[in-house]
Amino acid sequence: MADQKTVALFGAGTGLGASLAHRFGREGYRVALVARRAEALQERVAELAKAGIEAAAFPADLADTSKIPALVKSIENQFGDIDIAVYAPVPADVHFVPAVSLNAAELQSMANVFTFSPIEMSHAVLPGMLARGNGAVVIVGGLTAVVPMAGLSGVGPLMAAARNYVYTLNAEVTPKGVYAGTVNIGAAIDRSAGLRAMTANGTKLDPSFPVIDPDDIAQEIWSLVTQRDRIECILPAQPSA
């Protein structure tokens, strides 16, 4: 179908990635699933097919920025134009570092996934979107990009850089019909690999630590790209000052 749209999910895990695939798939989107493990991706493709959603797997390591342009091209070759691109990988080994312990090497080890790769992905999909005068890019990060917290540095500064990029990008591309937005999450994501890692070996989460349903995040992202009435969404919603 010539008018069928495509959503590309960069970081298509079992939590948010699965919820996004179903949310956009219900709206008739074809779904490009990007993650490192080919076998797991094929399982998700099969699950989506049972739900009547067309999807394809594109195994890739998003930490390798040099491969992102070719990755985007391979999605376009199979599905045509990418209408929505969502960048939301959460590496299983992601960790915070106290600012007093942070050094350049530690920061560089995480910089590709949280800063350079989302920018490179955006750079790769934007020409087509700008040429068509429509499209959307969403970069998902964490609350420490917005609210610095003692003891939780490292990924925060990197995600803050990506957040800054989204805000400036949105100002530049909105007049041309393209949307850029960001979602920053201050909670563990239910059904995700990250939450499984946090609770491995019987580890119990602090009861006060929030856990969010990825379906709720997917709905917020759907609202962002369809309504385009705000650049950023913070989840769970933060209390007013």
* 240 domain residue, yes or no: no
* 187 domain residue, yes or no: yes
Q: What's the N-to-C CA distance of the chain in angstroms? A: 49
Classified as helix, coil or strand, 214 is helix
What does the DSSP assignment read for 48-87?
HHHTT--EEEEE--TT-GGGHHHHHHHHHHHH-S--EEEE
Q: In the prediction, which pLDDT does 205 show? A: 62
Whole-angstrom Cα distance, residue 48 to residue 165? 33
pLDDT in tens, 49-74: 999 999 999 999 999 999 999 999 99
Residues of the chain with pLDDT under 50: 1, 241
Look at the block and give the residue holding tokens 């989460």.
205
Range of the domain at 89: 6-234
Going by C-alpha positions, the residue among 187, 186, 170, 188 that lies closest to residue 225 is 170
* 133 domain residue, yes or no: yes
Q: Which amino acid is it at 39?
A: E
Q: In the prediction, which pLDDT does 190 show? A: 75
* 141 domain residue, yes or no: yes
Q: How many CA atoms lie within 13 A of 168 on its CB side?
A: 8
* 103 domain residue, yes or no: yes
Contacts of 6 (CB under 8 A, 6+ apart): 29, 30, 31, 32, 75, 79, 80, 81, 82, 83, 84
Entry pTM: 0.92
Q: In the prediction, which pLDDT does 194 show? A: 64
Q: How many CA atoms lie within 13 A of 42 on its CB side?
A: 3
CATH of the domain at 212: 3.40.50.720
* 42 domain residue, yes or no: yes
Q: In the prediction, which pLDDT does 3 show? A: 75
| Number of domains comprising the chain | 1
